[in-house]
Amino acid sequence: MDISLDTPLDADKQLIIAEVRRFVDREVIPVARELEHDDSYPFALIEKLKQLGIFSATIPEAYGGLGFDFATYVQVVEEISRGWMSLAGIVNTHVLVAYMIAAHGTEEQRQRFLPTMAEGDRRGGLCISEANAGSDVQAISMTATRHGEDYVIDGSKLWVTNGVHASVFAVLARTDPGAQPPYRGMSVFLVEKGMPGLTVSRTFEKLGYKGVDTAELVFDAVHVPLASLLGGREGEGFKHAMSGLEVGRINVAARAVGLAQAAFNDAIRYAQLRTTFGKPIAQHQAIQLKLADMATKIEAARLLLQKAARKKDRGERCDLEAGMAKLFASEMCQEVTLEALRIHGGFGYTKEFNVERYYRDAPFMLVGEGTSEIQRLVIARQLLEQYKV
């Protein structure tokens, strides 16, 4: 049965979201600008997120998690992103890997990884993209070759969020390089930090999305036991990765909504304080039109996000809905942050106000977890299937 988007969360979940909102207001917003400008990893904030249980949000209660549905979790992500989008990125990759283990792992893998991941001491990183394989996931060249009681993994992965500070990585590799189509020969492995041959070769300095490590990982003959194969069966990796990316795209949409909301909040406040020609700029029609469009687009993106999250909660395929939410929300976020900068005028271009940070963070959403162009292709493919003549 479909649940109305207006269905309220139960009281306990509302209390948790309210607590996250207070945490963001008290602990994140006051320090985010300095941490972001210094490109500093937020160790202290991570500890507080652990205490709040955020890293356990979607992990089932049976494994020590809070067991949130995604409709609740995306509201948590919105709130964190309203304070600092990078902080939500650290959580997102971790939650994505935990979801893959919970949904597709063996019981032994769930028992081994999820309880410590729920505590936040062991955090996850996702290894899919390569130098010549970004949007085209089937083009990956990393291999995992069976060798006795081990698999030997060779290759490198780019754009690994949490690449430095994660302790367990979900790694997509080819176990059957000759498979046709190529996706049938891919598998995901759970590789722990510290394995011989696994190194961080470099980190990337980025336009925005600072404070969170984005790295290249090199796997040089990394031996992992057979029990590291997610789900215990070869050839399921592409399906596992795509299922995880549905979660990732819903999360990126939530981050975009939260970031856009922060930009709108700052813009509408500034518009009521800044005066020109004898009155607050909020009283000028040109500014009012901007504010109206910004708020409308944010709300539309939020509704698309909730629809995708609820479909994921029902266990249904939601690449269409997740793609729509991610596409619209990320493009909306880019527009809203630019409008917020314009409303601030010259001050918006300085580091004295947060809008310049919002404007630098917004482009990540356009490319993270699949570019807008890829989202359009995914959406069109599903539409053509639904409306087949």
> CA–CA distance from 321 to each of 92, 273, 317, 371 (Å)?
19, 39, 9, 15
The answer to whether 369 is a known catalytic residue is yes
Nearest 5°: the CA angle 257, 330, 263 is 45
Give one DSSP letter per residue of 117-185, joined into a string: HHHTSS-EEEE--BTTBSS-GGG---EEEEETTEEEEEEEEEEEETTTT-SEEEEEEES-TT-SSGGGG
Tell me which of 78, 192, 369, 385 is the catalytic residue.
369
CB 46 within 8 A of CB 90: yes
Angle at which helix 85-104 crosses helix 355-367, to 10 degrees, equals: 30
In sequence order, the 6+-apart residues with CB closer than 8 A to the CB of 113 are: 98, 101, 105, 122, 168, 190
In sequence order, the 6+-apart residues with CB closer than 8 A to the CB of 288 are: 282
Burial class (CB in 10 A: 0-12, 13-18, 19+), 69: middle
Question: 30 preceded by cis ω (within 30°)?
Answer: no
Nearest-angstrom CA–CA distance, 336 and 180: 44
Classify 364 as helix, strand or coil.
helix
Which tokens belong to 158? 């780019």
Catalytically active residues are 369
